[in-house]
Amino acid sequence: MITRIIACSFLLLCAGLAQAQSLIPAPPQLAATSYLLVDANTGQVLVEQEADKEVPPASLTKMMTAYVVSEEMLKGSIKEDDKVRISEKAWRKGGSKMFVKVGDQVPVMDLMRGVIIQSGNDASIALAEHVSGSEEVFAEVMNQQAELLGMENTHFVNATGWPAEGHLTTARDLGILARALIANHPEHYDIYSEKYFSYSGINQPNRNRLLWRDSAVDGIKTGHTEEAGYCLVASAMKRGMRLIAIVVGTDSDEKRASETQKLLAYGFRYYQTHKVYGQGEVLQNERVWGGKEPSVGIAVEKDIFVTIPRGGEEDIKADLIVDGELEAPVEKGQPVGKVVVTLDGETVADVKAVAAEEVERAGFFKRMWDSIKRFVMGFFN
């Protein structure tokens, strides 16, 4: 099979790109144990420091607790309006609380808000027991989910983030979880931006200070223990770009907010998320041999986003790589090659190219005529 590479830079944004590429200064140095700044759409890491250092996640653990519960709702195993009976274990747990009582029947979504907004340990255990029967079994599910997401250096022992031996994660793994949480469960993501939640007459604020300071910030979760320090995973959207900042191990509530703001400000100032092609966008038509139609449109399987320095559009190059000649029948969505996007010679995206429509097989005489033409063209080529 012959693979052909067709440069498609001419299909990119060649017009109106006179803006010069920005110079990018060194990223800020933060007073934190580890940190990471990542583009939520592309997964491109913009800033990192000790991102693979294993650290106790404290209440950032509850991001996975909520994620697993969202997964269970998506599968239909539980429902948003299911009533969860509060056990004595959940009620007795110390630390931050939603203030549920033993024997209460609490809707799943109230408990989700108790986990996400109030950081309730009692709500976390109650949900864990409702999903898996016990918190210990639920922790096994959390670890299985972490493995599926590619969180290679994470191990959960409980659903709350309560200090425990072997309960560890990394800033990089938290970035993976944050991206999955936003992409896979948008139906519940709005909860992370809610500033208050009241239950049983007790109104508690979201501990994420940035929700009040920056209108672009809409999540995600804080955490704190003596060993972990003050931690924050924040997500913000500005000018079509969503960034996720993970800051672990600062020395105060104020510091975790201000250090996270530094990362977000740096990312939004010097980088942009650029949409190269949209899902289903036809790049060109390709000859189909033996088909009722002479050609088929070649499209990208999914949106292609890249993270680039501001003003760096001119440095993007795309190549459409077609895996040999196409023969009918061709199914809509059939993989026919790939689109490779490079920035300054480095591959930044690699997405399947697919047939944009179906092409049925032609009749006998049309196929014979195409075979003759193909032979003659091949002979001269």
Q: Which residues are catalytic?
A: 59, 62, 119
- B/e letters for 5-40, b = 16+ CB within 10 Å, e = fewer, are ebebeebbeeeeeeeeeeeeeebeebebbbbbbbbb
Look at strands 45-49 and 34-39 and give their pairing.
antiparallel
Distances in Å between the Cα of 112 and the Cα atoms of 32, 124, 334 are: 29, 8, 41
- Amino acid of residue 197: F
- Amino acid of residue 367: R
Three-state SS for 253?
helix
Q: Which two tokens stand for residue 185?
A: 């469960």
CB atoms inside a 10 Å sphere around CB 343: 19
Q: What share of the chain is helix, strand, coil (3-state, %, to 5)?
A: 35, 30, 35
